[in-house]
Amino acid sequence: MASWAVLNEQVVWISQLATGFTIVCERCVELGEGFPSVQETLSLEHTRGTMSCPRGHEIRIERDGR
């Protein structure tokens, strides 16, 4: 169901100079799957990206600042 996915889209903001960060998937937390943290990197030339948690939930990465 597309509308569900849009409404529940996860967006994580990272700081302007962050290249490595750890994210906790909120979908997994809501489902009672514990607190699965995901380590991710995003090189400085990218202002955004997408990743998936170990259980396949999509997480959007947005870089703060410009």
The Cα–Cα gap between 57 and 12 comes to 13
Cβ neighbours around 59 below 10 Å, total: 20
CA nearest neighbour of 41 among 14, 19, 23, 62: 19
**Which residue lies nearer to Zn ion by CB, 33 or 63?**
33
Binding mask 21-60 for Zn ion (x = CB under 5 A): ----x-xx------------------------x-x-x---
**Which residue lies nearer to Zn ion by CB, 10 or 47?**
10
Site residues (vs Zn ion, CB under 5 A): 25, 27-28, 53, 55, 57
